[in-house]
């Protein structure tokens, strides 16, 4: 499938895109992973009436929920409201997102036959997502980037194989090591789904994409490089023609930063590794994104300000060390009990300090 880049918005005024490209942004860009969601009462009001997955296939609701944190916090990017399992659901995998748990798969994948039976994603099955992107772009001002996203093959595989959230990824790692052929076949299938899902969003006009390999930090660098990276590299390579910033993120991935940064334009860093140190690990020429610890937002205004100053200074040192730019974010998602006013105040500080 070949995709000509669709009509793009004017990116020259978006601080997030400028930071990713090594240009000087008008202000330090900031957004928060999971900025839409349970920390916002207006989100909880919508979700009281409708299930998580159902809301992800309703273009009007996706548009509204995506814009809620932008209206409140003056962040420099909106992230499409969706979930990493949405393309799997759209392809026909029997799964649900269970409140308080996360994705639950009816029939976990364990065998070669299971992998062969995994359905492919027809782009029309995520037409609601494309329509939502169009609606969001109609309302978003020209300085605010819309970030599309998808889960990376390893993190998607971990849910499909374990059947839900996992602590030790026992079945995933067992399959990966005992039957590499089946493993690679599964990763290739999931990479195809990820590519299609991101192409649909890019064709509809998103300004940047983030690939979430949230749980890749469970792997050694050697296993990551042989069993995962080839598939992720293909995902990133397929998106290159769109010319938009491509962000790669995972949790606890300090040892994987070099491998994860290779195919990407922007590397997400969690709070365990200072941004300047991340640049030493990945080398020059990539932007860094992060990395406030989400729990800092519970420690009171003095600590929040001190930590923001520290991350901004660290970001400056990262740029001096060769990063093309710094996009401020948390090191992982906003926790559901976070006071949204603390987030609004954090954005103000980041923009003024």
d(CA 350, CA 311): 10
50 binds ligand 1CP (CB under 6 A): no
Active-site residue flag, 44: no
331 is in an annotated binding site: no
For residue 151, the cross-strand partners are: 212
User: Do 146 and 133 meet the contact criterion of CB atoms below 8 Å apart?
Assistant: yes
Give the x/- contact pattern for ligand 1CP in 271-310, rule: CB under 6 A: ----------------------------------------
d(CA 258, CA 82): 28
SS3 179: coil
37 binds ligand 1CP (CB under 6 A): yes
Instruction: Record the tokens describing residue 250, joined without a space.
Output: 């995972």
Q: How many residues bind ligand 1CP (CB under 6 A)?
A: 22
345 binds ligand 1CP (CB under 6 A): no
d(CA 179, CA 147): 36
d(CA 95, CA 73): 33
333 binds ligand 1CP (CB under 6 A): yes
User: Do 204 and 6 meet the contact criterion of CB atoms below 8 Å apart?
Assistant: yes
Q: Work out which of 15, 68, 81, 90 binds ligand 1CP, going by CB under 6 A.
A: 81
- Beta carbon of residue 121, minimum distance to ligand 1CP (angstroms, whole number): 17
Active-site residue flag, 309: no
- Beta carbon of residue 338, minimum distance to ligand 1CP (angstroms, whole number): 12
Q: Which of residues 175-234 bind ligand 1CP (CB under 6 A)?
A: 212, 214
30: which DSSP letter? B
Instruction: Give the residue at shortest CB distance from ligand 1CP.
Output: 102
Active-site residue flag, 34: yes
83 binds ligand 1CP (CB under 6 A): yes
Q: Which of 43, 76, 159, 246 is catalytic?
A: 159
d(CA 78, CA 20): 16
Q: Which of 9, 13, 34, 225 is catalytic?
A: 34
Residues 6 or more apart in contact with residue 255 via CB below 8 angstroms: 220, 221
| CA separation, residue 315 to residues 203, 309, 318, 329, 346 (Å) | 32, 10, 5, 11, 16
| Residues lying near ligand 1CP in the complex (CB under 6 A) | 33-38, 47, 52, 79, 81, 83-84, 97, 99, 102-103, 149, 155, 165, 212, 214, 333
The residues assigned a catalytic role are: 34, 38, 47, 83, 159
């Amino acid at each position: 499938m070949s995709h000509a880049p669709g009509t793009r918005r004017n990116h020259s005024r978006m601080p997030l895109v400028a930071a990713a490209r090594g240009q000087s942004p008008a202000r330090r860009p900031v957004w928060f992973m999971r900025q839409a969601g349970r920390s916002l009462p207006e989100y909880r009001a919508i979700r009281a009436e409708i299930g998580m997955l159902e809301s992800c296939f309703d273009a009007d609701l996706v548009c509204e929920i995506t814009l809620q944190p932008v209206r409140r916090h003056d962040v420099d990017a909106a992230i499409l409201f969706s979930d990493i399992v949405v393309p799997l659901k759209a392809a026909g995998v029997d799964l649900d997102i269970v409140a308080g748990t996360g994705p639950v798969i009816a029939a976990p994948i364990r065998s070669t036959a299971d992998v062969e039976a995994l359905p492919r994603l027809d782009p029309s099955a995520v037409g609601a997502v494309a329509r939502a992107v169009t609606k969001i772009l109609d309302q978003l001002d020209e300085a605010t980037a819309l970030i599309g996203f998808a889960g990376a093959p390893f993190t998607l595989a971990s849910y499909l194989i374990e059947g839900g959230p996992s602590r030790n990824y026992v079945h995933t790692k067992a399959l990966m090591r005992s039957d590499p052929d089946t493993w690679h076949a599964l990763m290739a299938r999931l990479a195809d789904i990820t590519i299609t899902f991101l192409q649909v969003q890019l064709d509809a006009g998103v300004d940047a994409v983030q690939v979430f390999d949230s749980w890749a930090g469970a792997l050694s660098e050697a296993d990551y490089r042989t069993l995962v990276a080839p598939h992720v590299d293909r995902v990133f390579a397929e998106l290159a023609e769109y010319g938009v910033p491509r962000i790669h993120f995972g949790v606890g991935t300090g040892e994987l930063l070099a491998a994860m940064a290779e195919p990407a334009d922007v590397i997400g860093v969690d709070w365990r590794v200072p941004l300047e140190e991340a640049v030493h690990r990945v080398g020059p020429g990539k932007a860094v994104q992060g990395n406030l610890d989400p729990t800092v937002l519970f420690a009171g205004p003095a600590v929040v300000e001190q930590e923001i100053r520290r991350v901004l200074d660290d970001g400056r040192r990262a740029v001096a060390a060769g990063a093309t730019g710094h996009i401020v974010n948390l090191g992982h998602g906003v926790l559901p009990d976070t006071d949204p006013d603390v987030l609004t105040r954090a954005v103000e500080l980041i923009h003024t300090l």
